[in-house]
């Protein structure tokens, strides 16, 4: 099986619970939604096997990496591809496997992940929200983050623009939520 990959890169997790930790990101091509604020390029650049992806992940981590390295699978929408073989192969190399999804699909292999981030959108499935380790809601017009609070996990609100004030005010009035900003953009890193 081959995967449609946009890029694989080493950086720092800029959002959510693992913010500040080094990670290798596997950005997969394609998405089933068309969010107006999305800044992700979804173009398909390469077709790679699970083993080829793991080889690139191993090359991306520096020899000085200690502990259990984090690999973040993101997109686009990664659940559009059957990632079971990739997840199994990454875990066989002792990687901590995190996945970021819009939650509109619920493949069985989600249970194999170490960490699941759901950024809910129209069509997000309750069973995926219930499995989430963290829920990261982009604060856009008409979105009520509190409607997702009953699903548990770590709860984050993220501004959809450079105007952080609405998200800050939301967290101040809903202290069960935490603020997540895209620090990778603030720091101008990939």
Residue 183 has pLDDT above 90, yes or no: no
The tokens for 36 are 């107006």
Spell out the domains of the chain, with CATH numbers in brackets.
2-186 (3.20.20.70)
pLDDT at 152: 73
Residue 66: predicted pLDDT: 65
Determine the Cα–Cα distance for residues 78 and 123; give it in Å rounded to an integer. Answer: 16
Predicted TM-score of the model (pTM): 0.89
CA distance 149 to 175: 11
Report the number of secondary-structure helices (H) and strands (E) in the chain.
5, 9
Q: What are phi and psi of 173, to 5 degrees?
A: -95, -5
| Lowest-confidence segment of 10-24, 34-48, 153-167 by average pLDDT | 34-48
Cα–Cα distance for residue pair 3/1, rounded to 1 Å: 7
Q: Are the beta carbons of 42 and 29 closer than 8 angstroms?
A: yes
Strand partners, 156: 136, 178
d(CA 32, CA 59): 30
pLDDT of 50-104, one tens digit each?
999 999 999 888 655 666 789 999 988 999 999 999 999 999 999 999 999 999 9
Measured between alpha carbons, how far is residue 28 from residues 60, 113, 153, 154, 170 in Å? 16, 16, 25, 24, 31
């Amino acid at each position: 099986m081959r995967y449609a990959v946009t890029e694989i890169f080493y950086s720092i997790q800029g959002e959510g619970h693992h913010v500040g930790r080094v990670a290798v990101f596997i950005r997969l091509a394609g998405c089933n939604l068309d969010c107006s604020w999305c800044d992700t390029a979804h173009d398909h650049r390469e077709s790679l096997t699970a083993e080829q992806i793991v080889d690139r992940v191993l090359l991306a981590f520096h020899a000085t990496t200690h502990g259990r390295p984090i690999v973040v699978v993101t997109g686009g929408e990664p659940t559009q591809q059957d990632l079971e073989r990739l997840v199994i192969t990454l875990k066989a190399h002792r990687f901590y496997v995190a996945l970021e999804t819009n939650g509109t699909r619920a493949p069985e292999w989600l249970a194999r992940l170490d960490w699941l981030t759901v950024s809910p959108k129209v069509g997000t499935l309750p069973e995926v929200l219930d499995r989430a380790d963290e829920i990261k809601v982009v604060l856009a017009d008409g979105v009520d983050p509190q409607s997702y609070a009953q699903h548990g996990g770590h709860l984050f609100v993220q501004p959809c623009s450079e105007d952080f004030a609405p998200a800050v005010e939301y967290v101040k009035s809903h202290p069960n939520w935490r603020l997540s900003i895209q620090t990778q953009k603030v720091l101008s890193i990939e």
